[in-house]
Amino acid sequence: MKYRIVALGTLATALLALGSLGSGCGTREARTAQNPPPRLYQMSELAKAMEDMYQANIAFRDALNQGFGVDSIPDFFYTIHTAKPTTGKETDALYHAMADVFIEKMEAVVRQPIEMQPAAFNEMVDACVACHQQKCQGPIPRINKLRVTETGSR
């Protein structure tokens, strides 16, 4: 296991974080649901909004898996258009176009009757992944875990 070194302690983790992991888009093994990204680097406003969105969507996923609906979208989701990204990452026209698609999908979840929400929610997750494939591949395995699994009939 090549990256076993992270288990040796925070120093090794810090060195990895300051090196290739810097932006939070890295693909190293250290970034998994069990072992979230090291927080020793300064997170950008956008990275922070993304992490918060990730956490909020875990709560939505769990609610949907239990048969509850999602009735509103937290306001900060809309800050993905304006939050400042990590230096060197740009929120260009493609980014904003994909952010619009994502917001539309998220709004579509809320508009659905409860029984349609799981499928709509998973389409929203597809929109997270679509942008990440272009802009920030590292978190994709974590994002895929947001999918609702209980999409059968209720």
Cβ neighbours of residue 118 closer than 8 Å, sequence gap 6 or more: 64, 148, 150, 151
Distance CA 48, CA 148 (A): 23
Neighbours of 111 (CB within 10 A): 9
Residues that bind ligand HEC (CB under 6 A): 23-25, 37, 43-44, 46-47, 50-51, 53-54, 57, 85-86, 89, 95, 98-99, 102, 127-128, 131-132, 135-136, 139, 142-143
Tell me how far, at minimum, the Cβ of 88 lies from ligand HEC, in Å.
9
In the bound state with ligand HEC, the residue whose beta carbon lies nearer, of 10 and 32, is 32
Alpha carbons within 13 angstroms on the beta-carbon side of residue 71 total 2
Which tokens hold the place of 42?
A: 């300064």
Tell me how far, at minimum, the Cβ of 53 lies from ligand HEC, in Å.
5
Alpha carbons within 13 angstroms on the beta-carbon side of residue 140 total 15
Tell me how far, at minimum, the Cβ of 44 lies from ligand HEC, in Å.
4
Tell me how far, at minimum, the Cβ of 34 lies from ligand HEC, in Å.
14
In the bound state with ligand HEC, the residue whose beta carbon lies nearer, of 34 and 153, is 34
In the bound state with ligand HEC, the residue whose beta carbon lies nearer, of 80 and 152, is 80
In the bound state with ligand HEC, the residue whose beta carbon lies nearer, of 28 and 142, is 142
In the bound state with ligand HEC, the residue whose beta carbon lies nearer, of 50 and 120, is 50
**Tokens 């239990």, residue?**
66
Tell me how far, at minimum, the Cβ of 109 lies from ligand HEC, in Å.
11
Burial environment of residue 49 by CB neighbours within 10 A (0 to 12, 13 to 18, 19 or more): buried
Residue nearest to ligand HEC (CB): 24
